[in-house]
Chain A
Amino acid sequence: MIGALDMLLLAALAAIPLSALFATTRSGRWLLVAAYAVQFGLLIMLQPATAAHSALSFQLLGNAVGWQMDALGWYFAVITIGSAGFAAAYAAGEWSEVNGRLGLSLRWLYAGLQINVLAMLLLLASGDFVSLFIGWELTSWAGLILMLLAGGDAIRASLRYIVYAIAGGMTVFAGLVITQAAVGSLQFDALHAAAPSLGTGRLWAIALLFILGFSVKMASMPFHLWQAPAYAYSPAPGSSFLGSISARMGLFGIALVAIKLIGLAQLDRLSLVTDLVDLRGLLTWVAVFTAILPTFVAMRQNDARLLLGWHGVGQGGYMLLGVIIADRLGSAGGLLHVFNHATYQAILLMAVFAVIHRTGTADLNRLGGLVTRMPLTFLAMLIGIIGLAGLPPMNGFVSKWMIYRALIVDGHPLLFVATVISTLGTVLSVYKLLHNTFLGQLRLEHEQIHEAPWSMTVPMLLLCVVVFVTGAAPGLVLQYVAAAQQAIGLEPVRYILGGIESPTGSLDMLWITAILFAGFGIGAVLFYLIGGRSRRVHQLDNYAGGHFLTADVRYQYSDNFYAGLMHRIRPWYRGSFEWTESALVSALGAASTLARGFFEQANPAQWVLVGTTVIMTWVMWYALG
């Protein structure tokens, strides 16, 4: 009997060959966008409150393998298909035509996107550890397709990615087999049931292995180096899709395995020698550092895509933080942030790629003043950065607010301060992005540039509407977040349309939005109705220090934008992680040379003697001992 979930998966599967077939014509690509709409519709038809089972289930090597989708998976699936749909629509028109002419394989692009969606759906709909791992690995490898497409720098980034991804996958694999050894089964229920009776050692091993493995995908702190370049150098739809949702699969995994299956009560058993440090405490700090450090790395980037990529890493820290705090407000904030981040990150990446589409560069030192040339794109990016910086009234504020509140209520003031530091860094960083791209001096060669085509601006603006509406009325999303919380065994958040009801400080975004706009209204009244008319000058008509600046001279203040700040904090950029990574690679190279030396002996028969003697010594020693 084919259920709704099967229909969805089948549709996603069927869309892969369709993508390969139709991706080369404009109408075909719009058809593919429609295919995403169909998938989205099928997903909506699933009842998110109760788990939907797939008819597809079988025995594999003594394990029952099946698929089911609960509210958590559904929530992530909505974001996945949504991101993919918007990305597909963004690229459907002129973008694909131009880039297809430049040699990009559109078939691979669209098929890759759809393969990613299918892999993620499989992951999100996993019903046991086997299907979880299948989905996990497929997701990891599917991402590679999109990353490799661009060629050039992307290849090095994706090689780095895949080593990290395999390392993460193998860690999960180890967790899986150890779970099987400890529990005797690979069913989710088995671990859930057995977790309370597991010894601490086993529990540590399982929890740590799964969390570490999933963290690699999340690019949590020690494993964060791969993500920004890997996502940034992908072609526009791939980049915006991957940047929106791909890394969040790790969060899904952690929510599923650590929170739902192992359970908070068991996680709290995991403390180090003294009870001072426990796993969750450790993870919260990992999350906070993931939120802070990449943000400040982002501030130094000169490539707009990399800047956003690093912010993607940093925002992942907020989500992890919220989910690990795991109280009703914090976890809701973390999960809500997944949705919010997906929306504004997609906008930002789309806007950056629209700029690239028109100007051919994402180098922040080679842009500027585009606000008059590409006003809609500017508007989209403005809304996006307000969301990313977490300022009201956009949706990013709501989820961050919930996380802050949870931190204060739960008594983690240091974590709270640290997260706010990250937010401040974000504000600085995104202003640099906006300023260097759209504000300041317009370069002469960009004078003739037009707004991006409607096929690119409309998806961005639609997403802006989403960002604004869910910012003003977060209850629209929170109902699904609450269901997802219930699905992983947490208390659901108490929400209202405008935000959160809480006795110790509630949030009503409807009000805040209203007063903010009222304030703007008053400001506008003051500004426009009182006082004289101002004279509009041309964008290139400028002076500084009383001296005219001619347009052909570059006077844009862009490089080393926060010179004062950097003067203070540059010594703190030690590059320790880069250093550690390259040291590891060097060590691997040295070990490799050693191993080669082993094989390249002058007399290979040497090892027969060595082997025999050593083994026989071992034998005798063994016999005596």
Chain B
Amino acid sequence: MTDVTLAVVLPLLGAFLLPLTAHRGLHWLGMLLGPALLALAALLLFATWTAFESPYAIALGGFAPPLGITFYVDLLGLLFALAVPLTSLLLWPGGSDEAAIRQQSLTLLLAAALTGMALSGDLFNLYVFYELAAVASYGLAASSATGPAFVAAFRFLLISALGSVVTLLGIALIYFKTGTLNLAHLATLSERLADPQGLAAFAMLLIGFGVKAELFPVNAWVPEVYAATGKRVAALLAGLASKLAVLAVVRILLLVFPHDEARQLLLLLGTLGVLSGELAAWQARDVTRMLAWSSIGQLGVVLVAFSLPGKAGLIAGVTVAMHHLVVKSALFLLADRWGGAVDRLKGAATASPLGAALFVLFALSLLGLPPLPGFWSKYLVLSGLAEAGSGMQHLALGVILLGTVIEGGYLLRIITRLYAAPERDIVPPAHRFPNLFASGLLALLLVAGAILIDPLWQGLNTLAASATDTQVYVQTVLGGKGITR
């Protein structure tokens, strides 16, 4: 029973069954079910990770690969898949009333969908999982059940649905030209897509998947949704969901569109994302929206990193993405009680010294203070950009650095308020224990990352080596070598 399919299926099952516990006086089961299943999924993925030898594919339904849907299990997919249940557990909403159960159900659905996105090897299946994640996110975005949350969720839905239409058009274009959906199969046919139509199809997929990845022009939903919804949900969306959407784009980019033009597009949009996000954050006066805009900027960096060719790009991208996952989730958790105006934070450090210290730690890592992992991730991106060395890349390098400076400005504005003397003796409330605990765990992770940076990098090297090798992918899936059943 170590089939990674279970990591997708079990949360789904849990989501289906969870509403039943609301009626039957089975609250205790309801409280346990979700976390237990997520933990199980995590364990399963972890077991697969430790036992991992070489990439393999799972032909779902037992149909030989190009015909049926395949899951492709490699280190890249596993890494992101593993992040899903773990982060979801950490950000588990809790509670046992009807609304809470629905929210948990949606969280499980989101987790299942994101795990599926990490593993799926089929274009349309990616789309379906993406949509599942999107619908679950709409629900989560509206979960705080306030007026702003409904408007924000509706606007989010509008962008995302329109994006889906565009994606669907893109998938139709690809199907028109190739007649297949399997990524490995598409990889062998990538010549056919190396023309304007193919590139247009890629652009459409990018726009569609980009909505959740907070890609530059289609990210207008970000600040209002994060501001209107609960901070755990914001952390889940900003930290986790966006990364898996990026992963989907990267898979498609690596396998189906290995063209320079596609990378350039990603680079351009990523750069614009950094610029727009950091600039908008500069004048944000409440913490939540500041973090939201900052996360747009950070995801711009992630996209820029993935736009770099070869292993270096993948390593850089994975590092930045994982770092942002940890840091942004934690920052949103800490912003739970501190979500208001920056000026209201005066004296918060006296009420919640640990929370303030953690905030500083995460902010510093986000800014790239060596030897915290944020520095290394930034280093990998920047050195990759410098190596790649065309004008556009140098521009991106400059923009990222400029973004960091702006980021320093506004994050420090928060930090200085935290440690300022309280005004009129109104001290912002201390953190709730679960949030503090979760962000404390993430901080430990961050510190561990700083210490173990070199082994991690070595691991990423092997990960990237296999992930960037299209041949391995194609042969594993189509050559029948690594197929289970």
Q: Consider the complex of A and B and state whether they touch directly, i.e. have CB atoms less than 8 Å apart.
A: yes
Residues of chain A having any CB pair with chain B under 8 Å: 58-62, 130, 133-134, 137-138, 141, 148, 151, 155, 158-159, 162-163, 166-167, 170-171, 173-174, 177-178, 180-181, 588-589, 591-596, 598-601, 603-612, 614-616, 618-620, 622-623
B160-195 interface code vs A (CB 8 A; 1 in, 0 out): 001100100000000000000000000000000001
Partner of B420, one of A134, A155, A167, A593: A155
B473 within 8 A of A: no
Other 6 A-B pairs with CB < 8 A, given A60-B453, A600-B220: A155-B416, A158-B416, A167-B405, A177-B383, A601-B220, A604-B220
Q: Is the CB of B218 within 8 A of A607?
A: yes
B9 at interface (Cβ–Cβ under 8 A)?
Answer: no
| Contact between chains at B401 and A171 (CB < 8 Å) | yes
Identify B413's interface contact among A60, A159, A173, A600, CB under 8 A.
Answer: A159
**A599 contacts B280, C-beta separation under 8 Å:** yes
Q: B408 is contacted by which of A133, A166, A606, A610 (Cβ under 8 Å)?
A: A166
The answer on a CB contact under 8 Å between B382 and A173 is: yes
Q: How many angstroms from the CA of A326 to the CA of B183 in the assembled complex?
A: 62
Contact with A along B352-382 (1 / 0, CB 8 A): 0000000000001001111100011011101
- Interface residue B21 (Cβ < 8 Å from any Cβ of A): no
Report whether A151 and B386 are in contact in the complex, using a CB–CB cutoff of 8 Å. no
- Contact at A163–B280, with CB atoms within 8 Å? no
| A137 with B220: CB separation less than 8 A | no
Q: Are A170 and B203 in contact (CB under 8 A)?
A: no
| B319 → chain A closest CB, angstroms | 10
- Given known A-B contacts A166-B405, A178-B386, A604 and B216 have beta carbons under 8 A apart: no
Q: CB distance A623 to B416 under 8 Å?
A: no
Q: Does B37 contact A (CB under 8 A)?
A: no
Asked whether B280 lies within 8 Å of A623 as measured between CB atoms, the reply is no
Beta-carbon contact of B282 and A592 below 8 Å: yes
Complex-state Cα separation, A605 to B159, whole angstroms: 5
Q: Are B405 and A180 in contact (CB under 8 A)?
A: no
Please indicate the chain B residues that have their CB under 8 angstroms from the CB of A178 in the complex. 386
CA distance A469 to B405 in the complex (A): 44
Closest to A103 in B: B421
What residues of chain A lie closer than 8 Å to B413, measured between beta carbons? 159
Contact between A181 and B223 (Cβ–Cβ < 8 Å)?
Answer: no
Task: Judge if B199 is at the interface, Cβ distance under 8 Å.
Answer: yes
CB pairs A–B below 8 angstroms (6 shown): A62-B457, A137-B375, A174-B382, A181-B383, A604-B221, A619-B261
> Binary interface profile of B, 182-214, with partner A (CB < 8 Å = 1, else 0)?
000000000000011001100110110011000
Asked, given contacts A170-B401, A170-B404, A619-B196, whether A151 binds B276 with beta carbons under 8 Å apart, the answer is no
* Residue of B whose beta carbon sits closest to that of A175: B386
In the complex formed, the residue of B with least CB distance to A589 is B283
Chain A residues lying within 8 Å of B269, measured Cβ to Cβ, are 615
B217 with A170: CB separation less than 8 A: no
Pair B283/A593 contact, Cβ less than 8 Å: yes
Taken together as a complex, chains A and B put the C-alpha atoms of A181 and B386 apart, in Å, by 6
Residue of A whose beta carbon sits closest to that of B417: A155
- Supposing A171-B401, A177-B397 touch, asked if A598 and B280 sit within 8 A by C-beta, the answer is yes
Please indicate the chain B residues that have their CB under 8 angstroms from the CB of A173 in the complex.
Answer: 368, 378-379, 382, 401
| Bound Cα distance from A134 to B450, whole angstroms | 13
Neighbouring A residues of B386 by C-beta, 8 Å: 174, 177-178, 180-181
CB distance from B285 to the nearest CB of A (A): 11
| Given contacts A163-B408, A174-B382, A181-B389, A148 and B283 within 8 Å (CB-CB) | no
Residues on the A chain within 8 Å of B412, using CB? 158-159, 162-163
Q: How far is the CB of B291 from chain A (nearest CB, A)?
A: 14
* Complex Cα gap A416–B226 (Å): 60
Q: How far is the CA of A619 from the CA of B155 in the complex (A)?
A: 28
4 tightest Cβ-Cβ pairs between the two chains A and B: A611-B217, A623-B196, A604-B220, A166-B408
Q: Is B91 positioned at the interface, with any CB of A under 8 Å from its CB?
A: no
Query: B382 contacts A159, CB within 8 Å?
Result: no
B200–A177 contact, CB under 8 A? no
Docked Cα-Cα span, A184 to B392, in Å, equals: 21
Give the distance to chain B from A141, nearest Cβ to Cβ, in Å.
6
| Neighbour of B280 across the interface among A62, A596, A605, CB < 8 A | A596
Closest-by-CB residue of B relative to A588 is: B282
Q: Which residue of A lies closest to B281 (CB)?
A: A592
Given A137-B369, A180-B386, A595-B276, A170–B405 Cβ distance below 8 Å? Answer: yes
Contact between chains at A607 and B158 (CB < 8 Å): no
Q: Does B265 contact A (CB under 8 A)?
A: yes
B447 within 8 A of A: no
Docked complex: B27-72 residues within 8 A CB-CB of A? none
The SS class assigned to the B binding surface is helix
Q: Contacts A59-B454, A137-B370: A612 and B203 contacting too (C-beta < 8 A)?
A: yes
Nearest residue, chain B, Cβ from A609: B162
- The answer on a CB contact under 8 Å between A151 and B408 is no
> A138 is contacted by which of B277, B370, B416 (Cβ under 8 Å)?
B370
A616 touches B280 (CB 8 A): no
What is the minimal beta-carbon distance from A151 to any residue of chain B, in angstroms?
6
**B282 near A589: Cβ-Cβ < 8 Å:** yes
B162 pairs with A605, CB closer than 8 A: yes
Query: Using Cβ atoms and an 8 Å threshold, which residues of chain B touch A181?
Result: 383, 386-387, 389
**Cα A137 to Cα B413 with chains together (Å):** 19
Nearest-Cβ distance from residue B421 to partner chain A, whole angstroms: 6
> Are B159 and A61 closer than 8 Å at their CB atoms?
no
Closest chain-A Cβ to B256's Cβ sits at a distance in Å of 15
Is B442 part of the contact surface with A, judged by Cβ < 8 Å? no
CB atoms of B370 and A612 under 8 A apart: no
B401 lies within 8 A of A595 (CB) = no
Taking a contact as CB atoms closer than 8 A, the residue among A62, A167, A177, A606 that contacts B385 in the complex is: A177
- Hey, which chain A residues are within 8 Å of B210, CB to CB? 611
Known: A151-B420, A170-B405. A598 touches B382 (CB 8 A): no
Is B222 at the interface (CB under 8 A from chain A)?
yes
Q: How far is the CB of A167 from chain B (nearest CB, A)?
A: 5
Q: Which residues of A contact B408 (CB under 8 A)?
A: 162-163, 166
**Who on chain A is nearest to B370 by CB?**
A134
Contact B454 A58 (CB under 8 A): yes
Task: Please indicate the chain B residues that have their CB under 8 angstroms from the CB of A595 in the complex.
Answer: 275-277, 279-280, 293
Which of B166, B261, B279, B402 makes the CB contact (< 8 A) with A612? Answer: B166
Residues of A within 8 A of B162 (CB): 605, 608-609
Q: Please indicate which of the listed interface residues B163, B382, B383, B404 has the most CB atoms of chain A within 10 Å of its own CB.
A: B383
What residues on A are CB-neighbors of B421 within 8 Å? 151
Checking A177, A611, A623 against B382 with a beta-carbon cut-off of 8 angstroms, the contacting residue is A177
Are A163 and B453 neighbours in the complex by a CB distance under 8 Å? no
Report whether B379 and A622 are in contact in the complex, using a CB–CB cutoff of 8 Å: no
Q: What residue in chain A is nearest B203 (Cβ atoms)?
A: A615
In the assembled complex, the Cα of A158 lies from the Cα of B382 at a distance in Å of 27
* Cα(A601)–Cα(B375), bound, Å: 34
Most chain-A Cβ atoms within 10 A of its Cβ — which of B376, B404, B416?
B416
Q: How distant is the Cα of A596 from the Cα of B224 in the complex, in angstroms?
A: 11
Q: Are A599 and B220 in contact (CB under 8 A)?
A: yes
Interface residues of B in 267-309 (CB under 8 A from A): 269, 275-277, 279-284, 293
B140 on interface, CB distance cutoff 8 Å: no
B199–A622 touching, CB < 8 Å: yes
Cβ of A167: which chain B residues have Cβ within 8 Å of it? 405
State the Cβ distance, B259 to closest chain A Cβ, in Å: 10
CA distance A177 to B217 in the complex (A): 29
Give bound CA distance, A155 to B276, whole Å. 27
In the assembled complex, which residues on chain B have CB atoms less than 8 Å from the CB atom of A59? Answer: 454
The smallest C-beta distance from B466 to any residue of chain A, in angstroms, reads 19
Q: How far is the CB of B371 from chain A (nearest CB, A)?
A: 6
A420 to B155, CA, bound (A): 66
Inter-chain CA distance A138–B204, complex, in Å, is: 44
Chain B residue numbers with a CB within 8 Å of A170 are 401-402, 404-405
Q: Does B117 contact A (CB under 8 A)?
A: no
Inter-chain contacts of B385 with A (CB < 8 A): 177
**A603 partner residues in chain B, CB cutoff 8 A:** 158
With an 8 A cutoff between CB atoms, is B322 at the interface?
no
Query: Is the CB–CB distance between B370 and A608 below 8 Å?
Result: no
**B372 → A minimal CB distance (Å):** 10
Q: Are B367 and A623 interface neighbours, CB within 8 A?
A: no
Residues of chain B lying within 8 A (CB to CB) of residue A133: 370
